[in-house]
Structure 1
Amino acid sequence: MTRLFRPLPKTIFGRVLLTLVLSFGAFAVTTVAAIVHYALIPVVQRSTEDLAALMELSAHTLVQLPPDIREEYRARLLDEYQLRLRTEDQPPQELRYYFFPYVTRLSQSLGERLRRPVRMTSNVIDNTRWFWVDIDTAQGTVWAGFPRNRINTKPMAGLLVISGAALWLLIVTSAVLARRMTLPLTRLSQAAEAVAKGRSPDPLPENGAREIASLARQFNRTSQQVRELLADRTVLLAGISHDLRTPLTRLRLALEMLPEQTAPALATRMEQDIEEMNQQIAQAVELGRTLGTGDRHDVELTRLIGEVVGNRPRLRWQPQGACVRAVNVMALRRILGNLLENALRYSAGMVEIRLDCTPDGGAIFVLDRGPGIPASERKAVFRPFYRLEGSRNRRTGGSGLGLAVARQLAVANGMEIRLGNRIGGGTVASVHLAQPEPTAEFTDDSGS
């Protein structure tokens, strides 16, 4: 079905502005129409009727005067009323039709007085436009004319000035009103987005309209409750970590004190279990910490990546020049470390690191040859303690917290992590240093 109307603007500001423009625009049009109909048209009608009567009376008076005083009469009419009379032996030359709203209404008034259709014509005399009409008298035709400056009106210029001023006032007033109405909502949206990213925004001003003030007050309370909840979660996890690590320490001591005849395989398996529990506790506490926004400093990414890679086996990193960007160094180190650990755990081959240094911030890519991540699971793997079936299970050492921590750090520090499939098999994990607009997931087309 064909759409008859364009869609409304997507923002509240746009919709409010459009509503105000349409409302005030309709009011302005109605006002102008009322002024024209009830004020200007009656004035113009009375003015044209008076001028039509003067032109007819002057023409009939001219032919009734003695010839010796006709020129004096014409001079007085021209001087006092800007009205020129010519007899049929001196008709105006080069007449043609010229549209002018006032003259159109004057033609109607003359037609009513002369009882015949009248169409005034025009010519230019000494760079001045004149309008003429022929009037039949008892002694022949008399041409009556007047100059354009006698009317001294500029309807089109006036219409343009009024329309321009009305349009300017309409847009400015509507924009100011719309901005005042939507600014509190914009602040609320920005604050809510900051809370969603793990930040603690400043309290919103609880003023303005009663509904807006109430909404800001409720948001401030909710934001405070969220901060308290996160702080309580951190304290709780820290307490659980402390309580769990105490018996784990005793188990490790007991393991060290086992008799020598204890089977080595059993002792080794118990040590691995204790170490795995320690790692899981550490990752859980790390997730519970305040992973907020950190300070950003200019850093040379090539050197930073080289430090993170270090001497780890199965990593392929080839620096390709300097790339300086403002980032939270500690957060980026932890993100890259988690992504590399993830890639090495689930891939038996080489893991590649690439840097794409672009003006909008750039991106760092970690490419592995593991089993890959199905498209339906790419959002779920960022949830805490979520693990894929198959190769990504507890036996491989994964606790399901690495990607969750990396994503929380990235969101809090203005970065974005994406997951995609690699041509030939494997996963491409990319860290975008400046969050771009949502696009299709990255797919490696290098063929490597």
Structure 2
Amino acid sequence: MRLLRRFVPATLFGRALLTLIFTFGAFALVTSSVIIFYALMPVAQRSAADLASIMVLSARTLKQLPPHLRDDYRTRLATEYQIRLAEERPLADSRRYFFPYLKRVEEALSQRLAREVEIVTSVANGERWFWAAIDVDGERLWTGFPRSRIGTRPLQGLTVIFVVAVVLIMITTVILAGRVSRPLRGLAAAAEQVALGFSPNQLPETGPRELANLAHQFNETSRQIRELLANRTMLLAGISHDLRTPLTRLRLAVAMLPEDTPPRLVARMERDIDEMGALITQAVELGKNLGAGRRELIDLSVLVYELTAGQPRVISERVPRCRCQIDALAVRRIVGNLLENALRYSQELVEVYLDCQSGRPVIFVLDRGSGIPEAELEAVLRPYYRLEGSRNRQTGGTGLGLAVAHQLALANQIELRLGRRRGGGTIASVRLPIQRWDGDAIRARRGVDARAGGA
């Protein structure tokens, strides 16, 4: 069982194939055993007894006939019953020949002759013969019959049964697994679209009752998710609009303060208003549908350079051109949020590297901060989750930067990973999708390369 699981894939088709192999195998084994023991063996035993009787009777009859009639008797015996009689031992074939029916014939002959009888084989004119020694009146006669006299072909029959069983099992597996896996594949694809932030089309609520009910429940859940997202966006947009109005009045009130107001107080009030505006902007940004944007052919090395150039405490090594077809705005926001997060939590240098050696480019952002505990590497990707306990935005941020980056990564099939850096700190990797160039992308890439070469 474990051996079969190792070679059979862990898919619905593989599981169904494994189940049918054991089911049909057990049924075939039981059926074959019943047929063999209750039908074939009695028939074979009776046939062997009749053949042994004919062989013994033929040898004894030959000895009782006058010499001038024996040749005619041998000829008729060979023609009508396919049995030959010889006084000399035939040249035996030393090769072992597997034929279970011979065992029955030997047992029947031994029972009639009251001694052990061994059948030997020979090959004459391309045909195999079976011979047994029969003693008559003190003389030994060799009685033989050809393989063609026994029309059974057990090995060929078993081969045909095995081949037909395998074909039927494969066809049945394909039909059953296809009927079940086809709607499940559609459901899995739709669920993946929902996870990436898209709204998939309604699944057809047809087929078996269980699958139709599953599709109905998924459609209902998808509709509720769309409504929740729409309500969240509308709510945050409404809150943003309602809060920006009093913020604008506060700005106006601060600007109209008397001239003798302490400058430090005015600066602090303006800073608080700016922070409130930034919080509202980020909250609205999170509430939007952070889905996949339009993919375009970009140079990742240029994008990384633009993000890191002029940044204090940021080092980045310029690499050769690295073409990638991706949503440039999404990558810029993801890397920008990671870079901002690294600068906030680390007072040392932050390193940004681009690895474009394989078909899947990776951007690394490394810092030497306090690091993220292993148990919280996934939790920090949730909205408003912060490792720093205070509500101070300067030390703990808003808890939305990584959440926005995570949602953008999911929507654009980008793999965002956070890990602990050896020696202290955090390593964040942005692994872009595998580049599969279609015709338009190849032409665009050639055009970009040609313009770059001409420049």
The reply to whether TM is greater than 0.5 is yes
1:50 corresponds to which residue? 50
Partner-residue secondary structure (3-state), 1:352: strand
- Paired with 2:306 and 2:74, the residues of 1 have a C-alpha distance of 104
- Aligned letter for 2:411? A
Q: CA offsets, 1:249-295, max 9 Å, x none? A: 11111111111111110010011100000100000000000012333
2:105 corresponds to which residue? 106
2:363 corresponds to which residue? 364
2:331 maps to 1:332: yes
Q: CA offsets, 1:400-435, max 9 Å, x none? A: 110010001101111122122233332211111149
Q: What pairs up with 1:225-240 in 2 under 5 angstroms?
A: 225-240=224-239
1:92 corresponds to which residue? 90
- Paired with 1:270 and 1:105, the residues of 2 have a C-alpha distance of 109
Deviation at 1:225, TM superposition (A): 0.9
Residues 54-63 or 179-188, more deviating: 179-188
Q: What pairs up with 1:34-433 in 2 under 5 angstroms?
A: 34-87=34-87, 90-94=88-92, 98-138=97-137, 140-389=139-388, 393-396=392-395, 398-433=397-432
- Aligned letter for 1:171? M
- Paired with 2:63 and 2:374, the residues of 1 have a C-alpha distance of 100
Partner-residue secondary structure (3-state), 1:269: helix
Is the contact made by 2:390 and 2:396 (CA closer than 8 Å) also made in structure 1?
Answer: no
Residues 102-111 or 181-190, more deviating: 181-190
Is the contact made by 2:297 and 2:324 (CA closer than 8 Å) also made in structure 1?
Answer: yes
% identity of equivalent residues? 56
Partner-residue secondary structure (3-state), 2:34: helix
Aligned residues: 431
Deviation at 1:379, TM superposition (A): 1.9
- Paired with 1:151 and 1:166, the residues of 2 have a C-alpha distance of 26
Is the contact made by 2:349 and 2:368 (CA closer than 8 Å) also made in structure 1?
Answer: yes
1:27 corresponds to which residue? 27
Is the contact made by 1:363 and 1:432 (CA closer than 8 Å) also made in structure 2?
Answer: yes
Partner-residue secondary structure (3-state), 1:133: strand
- Aligned letter for 2:90? P
Structure 1: gaps spanning 5 or more residues: 436-448
Residues 63-72 or 237-246, more deviating: 63-72
Is the contact made by 1:346 and 1:392 (CA closer than 8 Å) also made in structure 2?
Answer: no
Output the TM-score relative to the length of structure 1: 0.88
2:453 corresponds to which residue? none
- Paired with 1:190 and 1:62, the residues of 2 have a C-alpha distance of 83
Is the contact made by 2:366 and 2:427 (CA closer than 8 Å) also made in structure 1?
Answer: yes
- Paired with 2:418 and 2:367, the residues of 1 have a C-alpha distance of 12
Alpha-carbon spacing, 1:210–1:390, altered in 2? closer, same or farther (3 Å): closer
2:442 corresponds to which residue? none
- Paired with 1:264 and 1:376, the residues of 2 have a C-alpha distance of 46
Is the contact made by 2:388 and 2:396 (CA closer than 8 Å) also made in structure 1?
Answer: no
Deviation at 1:82, TM superposition (A): 2.1
Q: CA offsets, 1:281-327, max 9 Å, x none? A: 00000000001233333322112222333433332221222222232
- Paired with 1:434 and 1:306, the residues of 2 have a C-alpha distance of 20
1:446 corresponds to which residue? none
- Aligned letter for 1:26? A
Output the TM-score relative to the length of structure 2: 0.87
- Paired with 2:356 and 2:198, the residues of 1 have a C-alpha distance of 28
- Paired with 1:112 and 1:360, the residues of 2 have a C-alpha distance of 79
Is the contact made by 2:132 and 2:142 (CA closer than 8 Å) also made in structure 1?
Answer: yes
Deviation at 1:30, TM superposition (A): 2.0
- Paired with 1:198 and 1:126, the residues of 2 have a C-alpha distance of 79
- Paired with 1:256 and 1:377, the residues of 2 have a C-alpha distance of 44
Q: CA offsets, 1:132-165, max 9 Å, x none? A: 1111223622110112233243321221221122
Alpha-carbon spacing, 1:302–1:53, altered in 2? closer, same or farther (3 Å): same
2:18 corresponds to which residue? 18
Is the contact made by 1:63 and 1:139 (CA closer than 8 Å) also made in structure 2?
Answer: no
Deviation at 1:84, TM superposition (A): 1.0
Deviation at 1:189, TM superposition (A): 3.5
Deviation at 1:397, TM superposition (A): 6.8
- Paired with 2:396 and 2:151, the residues of 1 have a C-alpha distance of 93
Q: CA offsets, 1:142-191, max 9 Å, x none? A: 11011223324332122122112212322331343133234433433443
- Aligned letter for 1:39? A
Alpha-carbon spacing, 1:393–1:254, altered in 2? closer, same or farther (3 Å): closer
RMSD: 2.6
Is the contact made by 1:21 and 1:171 (CA closer than 8 Å) also made in structure 2?
Answer: no
Residues 6-15 or 232-241, more deviating: 6-15
Alpha-carbon spacing, 1:44–1:296, altered in 2? closer, same or farther (3 Å): farther
Alpha-carbon spacing, 1:183–1:95, altered in 2? closer, same or farther (3 Å): closer
- Paired with 1:95 and 1:375, the residues of 2 have a C-alpha distance of 76
Deviation at 1:57, TM superposition (A): 1.6
Q: CA offsets, 1:302-355, max 9 Å, x none? A: 122223334333322212222222322221111011111112222233221101
Is the contact made by 1:338 and 1:402 (CA closer than 8 Å) also made in structure 2?
Answer: yes
- Aligned letter for 1:118? V
Alpha-carbon spacing, 1:392–1:434, altered in 2? closer, same or farther (3 Å): farther
Partner-residue secondary structure (3-state), 1:143: strand
Is the contact made by 2:308 and 2:314 (CA closer than 8 Å) also made in structure 1?
Answer: yes
Alpha-carbon spacing, 1:45–1:268, altered in 2? closer, same or farther (3 Å): same
Q: CA offsets, 1:102-128, max 9 Å, x none? A: 211221222233233322111223333
Deviation at 1:70, TM superposition (A): 1.1
Deviation at 1:197, TM superposition (A): 3.0
Residues 388-397 or 399-408, more deviating: 388-397
